[in-house]
């Protein structure tokens, strides 16, 4: 079995500046991926790659390397626990016991089984990861058999007590149930109640806020990427998978291939965006992907998120927003301009109109038509 790549993140202090040192074995592919992370530099003094420390950088680095399925040791940034404490700290996944070679091979087989069922890459990675944690949990508790009870114990100790999100809890349950199927075990009688997700309304940026974000983004690639995500209502993963020939300027359309649910669809190409897009293509000459990082690989989601975060800060927008907020804003602005919700559903690639209907709750047009009773007091 090919050895798993390990990345180690450690604190580094230089001239009163907090840094994150990034250590890894000699490997050109790993080196290129490390360098693809924004603001990474190499220190000859310390003989290591590093980046500046900030509140979210460890999570961003973890996501950056997780995309490759690599092991990330960031224990140097965790508070020290008492050595006399014998309890397993489930907030730190890596303090669970390691799996033996037999179990690792089994997990690899589970991964291939999921891939053959054509699950998305992200779903495969998540299911394998949570199943691995489940098996390590069973090892820590000396539980030999797979059962409803063992899942319930894992659910309580690892998910509920550590305050994992509802979404993550559902992913864990789904991953473990698929593992049962892989093992040929029946799931009859295994009724783990799934918690209902909170019905939260999406954050929406005003047209003025979107304009401000684009105005402060002067880098040609970054401005084109953010403009395309908003103007076409794309998920960031869809935008980064686009290829140059997916852009149909003659018809004013963008073809989104193998989107969520493995469906192709067409969405809008704004006419006013075409000059910017053509200028970007002429300058960067993308080959494999429309937005490329180094070595013609697709631009990473981590880098894209950093671009958006920087633009938010420069535009002095304080409301919480992510790249997906641009997609929400696209849909809401279409609804406010009078576009039929069935067309919006098609442009977004939603299976059910119920999903698209959420934008009726955040549309200011509909709300503004309601006469406030305060006016009649």
Comparing 139 with 79, which gets the higher pLDDT? 139
Taking residues 4-16, report their average pLDDT: 82
Most confidently modeled range among 8-12, 14-18, 216-220, 303-307: 216-220
Whole-prediction pTM value?
Answer: 0.55
**130 pLDDT exceeds 50?**
yes
328 catalytic residue (yes or no): no
Beta strands across the sheet bearing 48-52? 41-43, 48-52, 17-23, 6-14, 71-73
Domains of the chain, each with CATH number or no CATH: 6-77 (3.40.1170), 93-182 (1.10.150), 207-367 (1.10.443.10)
Distance in angstroms (rounded) separating the CA atoms of residues 350 and 218: 33
- Predicted confidence at residue 316, as pLDDT, reads 94
327 catalytic residue (yes or no): yes
- Predicted confidence at residue 83, as pLDDT, reads 35
> Looking at 222, 327, 328, 333, which residue is catalytic?
327
> Looking at 33, 223, 333, 350, which residue is catalytic?
350
**88 pLDDT exceeds 80?**
no
- Predicted confidence at residue 142, as pLDDT, reads 82
Comparing 359 with 266, which gets the higher pLDDT? 266
Distance in angstroms (rounded) separating the CA atoms of residues 349 and 266: 9
> Looking at 33, 111, 235, 305, which residue is catalytic?
235
Taking residues 278-292, report their average pLDDT: 93
> Looking at 31, 66, 103, 260, which residue is catalytic?
260
Proportion of the chain above pLDDT 90, given as a percent: 25
Task: Judge whether 71 and 5 are in contact, CB under 8 Å.
Answer: yes
3-class secondary structure per residue, 145-163: CCCHHHHHHHHHHHHHCCC
Taking residues 340-360, report their average pLDDT: 80
Upper half-sphere CA count for residue 355 (Cβ side, 13 Å):
10
């Amino acid at each position: 079995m090919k050895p798993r790549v390990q990345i180690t993140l450690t604190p580094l202090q230089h001239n009163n500046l907090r840094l994150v040192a990034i250590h890894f074995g000699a490997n050109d592919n790993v080196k290129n991926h490390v360098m693809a992370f924004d603001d990474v530099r190499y220190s000859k003094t310390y003989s290591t790659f590093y980046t500046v420390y900030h509140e979210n950088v460890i999570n961003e680095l973890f996501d950056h390397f997780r995309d490759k399925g690599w092991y990330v040791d960031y224990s140097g940034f965790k508070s020290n626990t008492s050595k006399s404490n014998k309890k397993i700290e489930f907030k730190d996944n890596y303090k669970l016991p390691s799996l033996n070679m037999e179990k690792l091979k089994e997990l690899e087989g589970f991964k291939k089984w999921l891939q053959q069922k054509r699950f998305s890459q992200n779903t495969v990675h998540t299911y394998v990861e949570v199943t691995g944690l489940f098996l390590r949990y069973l090892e820590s508790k000396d539980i030999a058999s797979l059962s409803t009870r063992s899942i319930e114990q894992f659910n309580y100790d690892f998910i509920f007590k550590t305050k994992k999100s509802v979404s993550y809890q559902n992913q864990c349950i789904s991953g473990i149930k698929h593992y049962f199927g892989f093992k040929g075990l029946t799931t009859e009688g295994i009724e783990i109640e799934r918690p209902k997700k909170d019905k939260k309304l999406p954050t929406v940026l005003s047209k003025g806020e979107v304009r401000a974000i684009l105005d402060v983004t002067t880098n040609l690639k970054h401005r084109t990427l953010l403009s395309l995500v908003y103007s076409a209502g794309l998920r960031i993963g869809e935008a980064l998978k686009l290829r140059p020939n997916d852009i149909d300027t003659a018809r004013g359309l963008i073809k989104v291939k193998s989107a969520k649910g493995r469906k192709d669809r067409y969405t809008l190409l704004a006419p006013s965006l075409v000059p910017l897009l053509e200028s970007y293509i002429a300058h960067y000459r993308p080959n494999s992907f429309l937005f490329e990082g180094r070595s013609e690989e697709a631009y990473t989601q981590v880098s894209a998120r950093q671009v958006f975060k920087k633009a938010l800060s420069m535009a002095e927008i304080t409301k919480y927003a992510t790249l997906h907020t641009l997609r929400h804003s696209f849909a809401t602005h279409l609804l406010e301009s009078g576009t039929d919700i069935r067309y919006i559903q098609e442009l977004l690639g939603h299976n059910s109109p119920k999903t698209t209907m959420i934008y009726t709750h955040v549309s200011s047009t509909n709300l503004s038509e309601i006469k406030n009773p305060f006016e009649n007091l």
